[in-house]
Amino acid sequence: MDIARTPETPGGNVEMADAAPQPKAPPMIRRDDYRPFGWLVPETKLDFELGLESTHVTATLTVARNAKADPAPVIRLNGDGLEPESVLVDGVPATNWTMDEGDLMLPLTGEAHEIRIATTIQPSTNSQLMGLYASNGMLCTQCEAEGFRRITFFPDRPDVLSTYTVRMSGPKAQFPVLLCNGNRIAVGEGGDSHWAEWHDPWPKPSYLFALVAGDLVARNDSFTTMSGRKVELNVYVREGDLDRTEHAMESLKRSMKWDEEVFGREYDLDLFNIVAVSDFNMGAMENKGLNVFNTKFVLADPETATDADYDGIEGVIGHEYFHNWSGNRITCRDWFQLSLKEGFTVLRDQLFSQDMGSAPVKRIEDVRILRMAQFPEDSGPLAHPIRPDSYREINNFYTATVYNKGAEVIRMMRTMAGEERFRAGTDLYFDRHDGEAATCEDFVEAIEDGAGLDLKQFRLWYSQAGTPKVSVSLEHEGNTATLRLGQVVPSTPGQLDKQPMPIPLKLALFDRASGKHGGEQLVVLDKAADTFTFDGFAEKPVLSINRTFSAPVTIERDVPREDLVFLAAKDDDPFARYEAMQELMTGHLVAAVSGSLGDNDRAAARADIARALGAVIADATLDDLMRGELLLMPGQTHIAEQMLVADPGRIHAEREALKAAVGAVLAEDLVAMHARASTLPFTMDAAGKGARKVKTIALTYLAGADPERASALAASQYDSADNMTDRQGALMVLAGLGTAERTARLIDFYNRYQGNALVIDKWFALQASSLHPQAIEHVKALADHPDFTLRNPNRVRSLYMAFAGNPSAFHAADGEGYRMVADLILALDPINPQTAARFVPSLGRWRRIEPGRAALMRSELERVAAAPHLSRDTFEQVTRSLD
Ligand code: ARG
Ligand code: ZN
């Protein structure tokens, strides 16, 4: 994709002479163009005179020529929307600077200089939430990836590391708490104003800078590190939220301990602060010593947060904390290396959560996320390698591919090396590159050297996009089972020809009679096709493959339903059991949707599925958390992903019909399971969480078969709930039904939690993601609700992400859902481009949808593309989606 193409006009008109001039496409940045920066910035001093409307910033940079770079007579200081009020070089006003786009270009003649620049910024009008902005009367920052340039002129690139000293002053009453990276070294006051000075001894790139000023209170605790240093810990929130911070603090302490034990990583400052803010584009940010979090990933108590919220908090607190080593001590050379820190840190947070709770259930959840979010990305117009080659707007590359597939790629190295050797590899990586801005290549080399792996061919996982398809067949003759494997890496935009990659597959061959296997094995498929033989099988064994999801691939195999039923009941790898159950249901649904099933086949398949699910309900060896996983139906997106071109209406109908059939056959078992789980008192352990999970799953199946009965049961679960998991689960089921209980409980929920933004977000999301046939009308009405606003990303997501992820509503056959999302993108783009651009992929999947809807989706994308003054974010996503 070299130059952005102008959208095709309906008549195929290529003469654009009379058309309005198209705005110039933002430049394409290329990984191959990387050059080291011409200057070093050993020290940075910042002085903030804080105000919500207006903040004055004076930046003093010590710069010196970088001997390792080409000589640069002019220093480029990035800026975005800034005007220099004064520019001094070595104390003397400079007049020879120029502006290039937003950047300040300053000629420098000597070997080293001091540059001082003053700017004034307006936090309260910063609706992009990048740079310094106001949220609920406080001031906070988000600098990754390129937000620092909205605060002051600076070489805003991750390979420029500097030591920061920051002074900030402001009205004491408005900003009683003044926070920055590192340690507080001095404070003072005068009149109504006060100030604080902070110093961060660790050199860092500008994207890790953070500042917070506001009326905050903190939960305070401490952690003693492995070498005996005491670290002060604070979780800062708004007054009134303090009693919902205990779980965050406990999660932080567990993270610190875990990183010492599992990766040998110790914290390196005397202070670690977390601040929760309610206006935030992403989940959280790992700024050195001062993590800034979306409130969603801090605040929890049983009354207002679900079990999933608790898990999310633990995972994200871990993620940001782990970045202190994988991200901060070793950062990225350039943004193409983003997966260096994100893929690795996601793997670290996944392993942490596995260790804190049920490892198999966590693994299943992570694979489900990968399949729901990353597989569609990898098979669509926005597919990119985990280390991209080009971008126009880096914010568009904070993707499931860079994060989640990135984690899978490193997990494969761990699988091939084994835990111990992998640890030797990461030790070497941390050792070798501490204090540096590194590349993915540096990481792979360190693992190669430290773990003793040959990763030559494996590097293709960094450069090739697309989810490999692995074909599997098992033959049997005499005493020998022969496994034939093949792989195809599909073409993706800009990458038509792919090479075979090493694919590590864990497998086991089960003896049918005993239900046992002779040991799990690891085979690595590194060719387009290969054959593996296994002796000692008098009878054809049952194959269990890609156990624990050892490789992020799609397995394609013709497997008899009875083998899936066998594995679903007997496999000793819980993931493989889940997988067999999913395959059983997905296989049937794909066949049913494709119209290749006769009535008898359909009935037989449904009966097998119901029997297998019934066995799961009855299996006394299962805990409820795992039982819940085995009972889950595959999502509509996952089913659609199995088909070249999907009809969302048919997928929805077949899936609901299967749910109803199962719900009818198993009604009494489901009701009994619900009753059994309902007797357990509220606890946060696995038994308690599991009980809550299976209760709501029981309701969803029943709702398919017997709406009245399900509605009554859900209403009673709602009414007697003493926790948000039960209450939300019940309300989710009710929201999809047309019963009287529905309205009453929706009203009750709103009244009960009015004023609690995170819970009201749930109220919006439940309705926008519901199976109710009028969901689309509900979304329209909710967009006019007084509590709805485009200014708060959590609220926007709670309504519109939920809606865009609700296939039965979003894919309304008349295109109304597409129109609504396109309207949202156009309305949100001028306010918050980063969040607006995140809605484009839902429309961008048009090529994989049946032709009628595809045309409607495409025309909405074209409408967006034709809008004047699109942000770089939305421009890039829309043009890639139309290409
Ligand atoms: N590094 C952060 C994390 O992974 C994400 C920050 C992304 N922010 C952004 N504006 N793109 O936790
Ligand atoms: Zn991260």
Q: Could you give the angle at the alpha carbon of 645 between the alpha carbons of 644 and 650, nearest 5°? A: 125
pLDDT at 1: 30
- Cite the DSSP H helix spans in 706-848: 707-720, 724-735, 740-753, 757-768, 775-783, 793-796, 802-804, 807-810, 816-828, 833-837, 840-844
Q: Is pLDDT of 615 > 90? A: yes
| Nearest residue (CA) to ligand 1, atom 8 | 144
Predicted pLDDT at 118 = 98
Please report which ligand is nearest the Cα atom of 286: 1
Residue with tokens 């395959």, as numbered in its chain: 583
d(CA 393, CA 413): 30
Quick one: average pLDDT of 474-478? 98
> 147: CA distance to ligand 1 center in Å?
11
Q: SS3 string of 647-679?
A: CHHHHHHHHHHHHHHHHHHCHHHHHHHHHHHHC
Which of the listed residues 126, 144, 330, 347 should we mutate to test ligand 1's pocket, taking the one with most ligand atoms within 8 A of CB? 144
Q: What does the pLDDT read at residue 21?
A: 52
Count of other CB atoms within 10 angstroms of residue 14: 8
At 22 the pLDDT is 55
- Whether pLDDT at 652 is above 90: yes
Q: Which of 325, 350, 398 to mutate to test the pocket of ligand 1 (most atoms within 8 A of CB)?
A: 398
The helix (run of H) or strand (run of E) holding residue 700 is helix 686-705
Please provide the DSSP assignment of 370-418 as one string. Answer: IIIIIHHHHTSTT---SS-SEES-GGGG-SHIIIIIHHHHHHHHHHHH-
Do the Cβ atoms of 198 and 183 come closer than 8 Å?
Answer: yes
Residue 682 DSSP label:
P
Residues of the chain with CATH 2.60.40.1730: 41-255+268-300
Measured in residues, the chain has a length of: 883
Interface ipTM? 0.98
Q: List own/partner pairs for 644-647 with CB under 8 A and 24 or more apart.
A: 644/848, 645/848, 645/849, 645/850, 645/851, 646/593, 646/848, 646/849, 646/850, 647/593, 647/849, 647/850
pLDDT tens string 562-598: 999 999 999 999 999 999 999 999 999 999 999 989 9
- Is the pLDDT at 5 greater than 80? The verdict is no
Query: Which listed residue (320, 365, 377, 641) is catalytic?
Result: 320
Quote the CA–CA distance of 348 and 334 in Å, as a whole number: 22
Structure tokens belonging to residue 38: 């011409």
For atom 1 of ligand 1, the residue with the nearest CA is 285
Task: Say how far apart CA 505 and CA 554 lie, in whole Å.
Answer: 12
> Could you give the CA distance from residue 753 to residue 601 in angstroms, rounded to a whole number?
48
- In the predicted structure, residue 683 carries a pLDDT above the cut 60: yes
User: Is the pLDDT confidence value at 6 over 90?
Assistant: no
pLDDT at 9 over 80: no
- What is the DSSP annotation of 462-510? HH--SPPEEEEEEEEETTEEEEEEEEE---BTTB-------EEEEEEEE
Question: Terminal CA-to-CA distance of the chain, rounded, Å?
Answer: 8
* Cα(384)–Cα(432) distance, integer angstroms: 29
* DSSP secondary structure letter of residue 545: E
64: pLDDT strictly greater than 80: yes
Ligand nearest to the CA of 396: 1
User: How many A from CA of 346 to the centre of ligand 2?
Assistant: 7
Query: Which atom of ligand 1 approaches the CA of 398 most closely?
Result: 11
Cis peptide before 145 (omega within 30 of 0): yes
Model confidence pLDDT, tens digit, residues 708-728: 999 999 999 999 999 999 999
Q: How far is CA 477 from CA 313, 436, 531, 540, in A?
A: 52, 57, 14, 8
Buried b (16+ CB within 10 A) or exposed e, 249-287: bebbbbbbebbbeebebebbbebbbbbbbbbbbbebbbb
* 145 Cα–ligand 1 center, Å: 7
Note residues around ion ligand 2 (Cβ under 5 angstroms).
342, 345
Instruction: Count H helices and E strands in the chain, helices first.
Output: 31, 31
- For the CA of 320, the closest atom of ligand 1 is 12
Task: Render pLDDT for 286-312 as a digit per residue (tens, 0 to 9).
Answer: 999 999 999 999 999 999 999 999 999
- Please report the pLDDT score of residue 596 as a whole number: 86
Using the atom order of ligand 1, give the atom closest to the CA of residue 281. 10
Q: Which amino acid is at 475?
A: E
- Domain boundaries for CATH 1.25.50.10 within the chain: 9-33+760-883
Tell me, yes or no, if 144 is annotated catalytic. Answer: no
pTM of the model: 0.97
- Would you state the pLDDT for residue 14? 38
Superfamily of domain 41-255+268-300: tricorn interacting facor f3 domain (2.60.40.1730)
Q: Hey, what's the torsion of the CAs at 597, 598, 599, 603, to 10 degrees?
A: -50
* Residues 495, 384 contacting (CB under 8 angstroms): no
- H or E stretch including 346? helix 338-356
**Pocket lined around ligand 1, Cβ cut-off 6 Å:** 142, 144-145, 281-286, 319-320, 342, 395, 398, 834
Residue nearest to atom 5 of ligand 1 (CA): 285
Sheet of 469-477, strand order: 529-535, 480-488, 469-477, 554-557
d(CA 163, CA 166): 10
- Per the DSSP assignment, residues forming a β-bridge with 59 are 46, 117
pLDDT in tens, 311-363: 999 999 999 999 999 999 999 999 999 999 999 999 999 999 999 999 999 99
- If you measure from the C-alpha of residue 319 to the centroid of ligand 2, how many angstroms do you get, rounded to a whole number? 6
Q: How far is the CA of 316 from the centre of ligand 2 (A)?
A: 9
How many angstroms does the Cα of residue 285 sit away from the middle of ligand 1? 6
DSSP-derived letter for residue 228 is: S
Mean pLDDT of 632-659: 97
Q: What's the mean pLDDT in 229-235?
A: 99
- Predicted confidence (pLDDT) per residue in 784-814, tens digit: 999 999 999 999 999 999 999 999 999 999 9
For residue 23, name the pLDDT band (cuts at 50, 70, 90).
low
Residue 548 predicted with pLDDT over 50 = yes
Mean per-residue pLDDT, 96-104: 98
Residue among 376, 412, 396 nearest 336 (CA): 396
Average pLDDT over residues 507-518: 97
What's the pLDDT score for residue 269? 98
Q: Which atom of ligand 1 is nearest to the CA of 283?
A: 12
Mean per-residue pLDDT over the chain, rounded: 96
* Nearest-angstrom CA–CA distance, 100 and 130: 21
Instruction: Note the ligand closest to the C-alpha atom of 326.
Output: 2
Q: Which CATH superfamily is domain 9-33+760-883 in?
A: Peptidase M1, alanyl aminopeptidase, C-terminal domain (1.25.50.10)
**pLDDT tens track for 430-470:** 999 999 999 999 999 999 999 999 999 999 999 999 999 99
What atom of ligand 1 comes closest to residue 327's alpha carbon? 1
pLDDT value at 4 more than 50:
no
Mean pLDDT for 843-865 is 98
